[in-house]
Amino acid sequence: MDLTETEDEKSFRAEARQWLQANVPATPLPSFDTAEGFELHRQWEGLLFEAGWSAVSWPVEYGGRGADYLKWLIFEEEYWRSGAPGRVSQNGIFLLGPTIIEVGTEAQKARYLPAMASSREIWAQAWSEPDAGSDLASIRSKGRLSDDGTEWILDGQKTWASRAAWADWCFGIFRTDPESIRHRGLTFILIPLDTPGITVRPIAQLDGDAGFAEIFFDDVHVPVANTLGEPGKGWNVAMAAAGFERGVSLRSPARFNVAVDRLIELWKQVGDLDDDTMRDAVTDLWMQAEGYKLHTAMTVTKLLEGGHIGSESSLNKIFWSEMDVRAHELALQLLGPGAERTDGPYESWVDGFLFSLSGPIYAGTNEIQRNIIADRVLNLPRA
């Protein structure tokens, strides 16, 4: 065990910090769930890419920096401490990208990864359906091969597709074997959102912005070359991605450490410093964020030493999402009636509170995560 940073890690941190200080926009960008904000975030992603910071853990040949996950954690710390914009490219760079690197063909890597790293192409996730939410395996959207076998023809409906209102591509799971049930017979397919037959209908979220959308597929033709992994094995491909997403990359610890630091500042500014209950609550939050950082560092070390992330990634997802809600609830408690105003000095806390509430729901509800932990970590009998 050695928790000190190596010289190499220190200079990596210094380099990241220097670049971010020089380049992070002075004023916050508008929400990426608006048309204007989306494009401004795309430009920011382009700037990150040019400097080699958009996908630090990817191989250099695909637009990454070739950094190991420990350096990725360092970059994330510097990124969120610098106040840099949220990542509109999240679905691609942190979820689909690592999956393509793991299971994609060389041609697919060359085709998709550089455009993803530069945010020339921004990706939406198209997994859930109106009748396939927590029960994702009950997917009904269909894909069938064209007569000449060169194209998938897609029909059906996806929903809660994050970033789909303005994204360029989506990655979805389709039932390509009509005889199949549940997890079998599904195929993971990459689809340009401007393909004829696709209709995207944005959905306003709790904050009023179109953070997700419905996607309708009506006789949509895409090349079979857009299949990621083997046809019929889409569930495994999706779950490989989901494990990585929940386990490491979806929410790096740094953003919570930064949020808790802000919470401590807020407590110092507006809190009743004689209120020991609040003092204890803020302290507990600090310990949670610190604990999450340590847990992630341990997971990443395990990966670097040749281990795998298993179902324990579900523990992470519950932990960070509950912690995030708690931090924002405390902030709102500190702000009192002042937190009702959405365009004032505390706008970011109100926005953050609304956003935090999505955490226990998306990427598999926390109840589903508890089932996964019980079944696969605690080895309890399946229901």
Partner 1 sequence: MQFSFSSDQRDFAASLREMLTNEFTTKQLREIWDTGTGHDPALWARLSDMGVLSMMLPETDAGMGADFTDVILLLEELGRAAVPGPVFETMTVGALALHGTSFATGIADGSVAVTAALLGEANVPHAGMSDVVLLRDGDCVSAVERSALQLTSVCGLDGGRSLSTILRPTGLGTIVAIEWSEAIDAGALGAAAYLLGVSSRMLEIAGDYARERRQFGQPIGAFQAVKHLMADALLKVEFARPAIARAAWSMAVGDDDRSRDVSMAKVLVADAAVKAARSALQVHGAIGYTWECDLQLFMKKAWALIPAWGTTTFHRRRVSDAVLGVRV
DSSP state string for 196-211: TTEEEEEE--TTSS--
Angle at 175 between CA 171 and CA 177, to 5 degrees: 135
Q: What is the smallest separation between the CB atom of 300 and partner 1, expressed in angstroms?
A: 8
Q: In the complex with partner 1, which residue's Cβ is closer, 36 or 280?
A: 280
Q: Are strands 227-228 and 186-192 parallel, antiparallel or unpaired?
A: antiparallel
Q: What is the smallest separation between the CB atom of 75 and partner 1, expressed in angstroms?
A: 14
Read off the tokens for 179: 């005889």
Using the contact rule CB under 8 A, the part of the chain among 21-29, 86-94, 118-126, 292-300 near partner 1 is 292-300
Contact of 212 with 253, CB cutoff 8 Å: no
Among 184, 262, 295, 326, binds partner 1 (CB under 8 A): 295
Among 282, 330, 339, 363, binds partner 1 (CB under 8 A): 282
How many C-beta atoms lie closer than 10 Å to residue 330's C-beta?
Answer: 21
C-alpha to C-alpha distance for 299 and 302, rounded to whole angstroms: 5
Interaction pattern, residues 24-63, with partner 1; x per rule: CB under 8 A: ----------------------------------------
Among 36, 230, 284, 347, binds partner 1 (CB under 8 A): 284
Q: What is the smallest separation between the CB atom of 378 and partner 1, expressed in angstroms?
A: 5
Among 287, 310, 341, 342, binds partner 1 (CB under 8 A): 287
Cα dihedral sign for 130, 167, 237, 148? positive
Among 13, 144, 183, 279, binds partner 1 (CB under 8 A): 279
- 318 is a site residue for partner 1 (CB under 8 A): yes
Q: Are strands 186-192 and 142-145 parallel, antiparallel or unpaired?
A: unpaired
C-alpha to C-alpha distance for 27 and 83, rounded to whole angstroms: 10
Using the contact rule CB under 8 A, the part of the chain among 148-156, 175-183, 313-321, 336-344 near partner 1 is 313-321
Of 5, 4, 15, the closest CA to residue 65 belongs to 15
Using the contact rule CB under 8 A, the part of the chain among 44-52, 169-177, 219-227, 282-290 near partner 1 is 282-290
* Backbone φ and ψ of 220, nearest 5°: -90, 125
Among 18, 146, 283, 348, binds partner 1 (CB under 8 A): 283
- 272 is a site residue for partner 1 (CB under 8 A): no
C-alpha to C-alpha distance for 323 and 129, rounded to whole angstroms: 28
How many C-beta atoms lie closer than 10 Å to residue 56's C-beta?
Answer: 23
Binding site for partner 1 (CB under 8 A): 1-6, 9, 70, 264, 267-268, 273, 276, 279-280, 282-284, 286-287, 290-292, 294-295, 297-298, 300-302, 305, 312, 315, 318-319, 367, 369-371, 373-375, 377-383
